Chains A and B, each alone.
Chain A
Amino acid sequence: MKKSRGQTPVKSLRRRDFLIKAAGGAIATTAFGAIPLRGWAADPVNIGALYPVTGSMAQIGQGCVNAAKLAAEMVNEAGGIKSLGGAKLNLVISDVQSDTTVTRTETDRLISGNKLSAIHGCYASALTLIASEVAERAKVAIITGSSTDQLNKSRQYTFTPFARASQFAKAQLQMARLLSDKPKVAVIFENTAFGTSTSNGLREQAPGEGVEIVLFEPYSAGFADAGPLINKVKASGADAVFSVSYLNDLILIVKTIKQTGLKVALNGGSGGFVIPDFYKNVGALAEGLQGVAHWNHDSDANAQKVNAEYKKRTGEFLFEYAGGLVAQTFMIADALERAASTDPQKVRDALSTLDVSSGYAAMAPGGKVKFGPDGKNVYGRPVGVQWQNGDLASVFPKEDARAPLMKT
């Protein structure tokens, strides 16, 4: 696991890079005398990164680590933190192993063993809740792509720049209205905490959004055959299906709907549905399926540029957590710039007054980031997405739509 914590091979290369640039900077400084002398001697700023790169959540976690490295490089290549004399960001990566206990000890170890200015992580809600608790106690700011609303309760050092889970249901319901004035929706969900909490949100808000729920069906995850469930959907007369499912069940549901010849619009929600792996498993059948995300890579020119670079490195498009993470890194850089200090308390205070509407830090649905007292981005909102030509296109709401909704 050592490999994931440090980045030894990259570091040595970067140090050489750094020396060359620093030497150049030194010459320039003596020549023009414009930049303060400490410029070439600036210590790097340590940013903690907590992600699961082993265990059951490793797949998305590894993508996050790739994006975190890319984002730090981007900040550094653009000259680092100028108010700190061009200080470079130094990522201190820690593998939280998809495990809550490990997350607690790793977060503790990371904070006590390094002089950190801020932390980002862990994407998964269960892990982020723990890491956030530890960070709060140590008084180090943590910024996260996790969407659980619990992170916005009585916390001072936790910042959530993207839409909250409670906002997702509303967006999904409104998307159903795009296809029909009086949509009849079948909600099928796996019967544990994840499925029930999400689907209850849908059921509560449906009447207010003018959506009729004609089937509200819990199922046990990991079925052998989606046939009986889809038979039920068919009998319900629904014209749209919301599925709150894990990846394997969702693959079977998509295939079975296709086989029945049933004409329904499927909304798969977020999470496992909006990552490249979903398309790899489902292939062309994914075309036209809808979902919701807290971030998408076509939002603006900056996001597209980062997406192109990420694609070049990993072969896959920049999915929501990874892309959001790049924006988060630039939010931290913005805070460091204004704090002109590596002190975690000052960085936290600078984050709390962050207000951006342009540049990489503002890459988010809505295009603006400003934190309220609860650490929530007051402009945060989810974006409705649709699989089009093997890629995710933003289709909802109108202000964030980058492609027309494909009617299937």
Chain B
Amino acid sequence: MMWETVAQAVINGLLIGGIYALVSIGVTLIFGVVKIVNFAQGEFVMIGMYISFFLSSQFGIDPLLSLFVTMPVLFVAGVLIQHFLIRRVLGPNDMPQIFLTFALSLLLLNLALMLFTANYRTVHTSYSDEAFHLGGLYVPVAKLIAFVVAMLLSGALWVFLHATDLGKAMRAAAQNRDVAMLMGINPNRVFCVALGIALALAGAAGSLLMPFYSAYPFVGQVFVLMAFVAVVMGTLGNVIGALIASLLMGVAESLGIQYVGADSGLIVVFALLLLTLAFKPTGLGGKAR
């Protein structure tokens, strides 16, 4: 019974950690490459959820299949936002960038409130409430699918960053923007792709969440705080670091709820963050990659 409770807590933590990872990888990618903090990342998850919800309620498309709509749509949105908004505020001063993404977050949030109201929207799928049972343990189907797809997407991103010219250019721009430019890399092009990928990941998170979570205008806020913690813990700009940190945080939160208190999950997460920073000030990832 005892080990069962622990094992279940770890499973729960890993599964939700996969979702945190999709959000935090987006944030860390933007920070690493473009050097700005995207405060609106959670709102793009919200948009992804609403797209999935409406595709499902209007056309009966399974929320998981709507991944093939939300990802491209948000990729294009990311490219446009970089090209028409962020590009104009990139400069030596950080303030305009912070204001821009923060304003974007407020704008999208309130636009959603106006258009969709504060009501909760839920999608019922055949697998929404199902779970695999192994002994005394259970693994919810929808969350398992979300976790697996999240890991596949993270893996694909890693391959892209390491095996393609564009990906290498992106890492180069992250490591040293000036030298990268001297080597003939067009920064705006690289930045556009980075924003596009980051937002596409947020959209994917939205589609993956929809079978088991309700969409509402403030939903992004639930996930974005964890994402920021994971970005710091996993070393700013480090994709693999953010992934590992997200999974660790999911497990820490779950164990915290189990053994400290259901309103103390975040305390354990932040304690883990402080410990990490105390012993590895740059974060788990070591350096930006």
Contact = CB atoms under 8 A, between A and B. Distances in A.
Interface of A: 56, 58-59, 188, 191, 217-220, 222-225, 227-229, 231-232, 234-235, 247-248, 251-252, 255-256, 258-261, 277, 280-283, 285
Nearest to B11: A227
Contacts of B218: 222
Given A188-B262, A217-B262, A235-B5, A227 B122 contact: no
B90 interface: no
B266 A220 contact: yes
A223 B118 contact: no
B178 interface: no
Interface in B73-102: none
Contacts of B120: 247-248, 251, 277, 281
Interface residues of B, number: 42
Contacts of B165: none
A146 B133 CA distance: 44
B122 A251 contact: yes
Contact of A252 (B1, B213, B226): B213
A294 B16 CA distance: 38
A218 B262 contact: yes
Contacts of A227: 8, 12, 15-16, 140, 254
Interface in B254-274: 254-255, 257-258, 261-263, 265-266
B110 to A, nearest CB: 13
B212 interface: yes
A59 B119 CA distance: 8
B43 interface: no
Interface stretch (B25-33, B123-131, B276-284): B123-131
Contacts of B253: 228
Interface of B: 1, 5, 8-9, 12-13, 15-16, 19-20, 117-120, 122, 124, 128-131, 133, 138, 140, 212-214, 216, 218, 221-223, 226, 253-255, 257-258, 261-263, 265-266
Given A231-B258, A252-B213, A285-B129, A224 B19 contact: yes
Nearest to B141: A259
Say whether chain A's binding surface is mostly helix, strand, loop, or mixed: helix
A224 B226 contact: yes
Nearest to A246: B120
Contacts of A260: 131, 138
Contacts of A217: 261-262
Given A188-B262, A232-B262, A260-B131, 20 more contacts: A224-B223, A225-B12, A227-B12, A227-B15, A228-B258, A231-B5, A232-B257, A232-B258, A234-B5, A235-B258, A252-B213, A256-B140, A258-B129, A259-B129, A260-B138, A261-B133, A277-B119, A280-B122, A281-B120, A281-B122
A225 B20 CA distance: 11
22 contacts: A217-B261, A220-B262, A224-B223, A225-B16, A227-B16, A227-B254, A228-B262, A228-B265, A231-B5, A231-B12, A231-B254, A232-B262, A251-B120, A252-B214, A255-B128, A259-B129, A259-B130, A261-B133, A261-B138, A280-B122, A282-B122, A285-B129
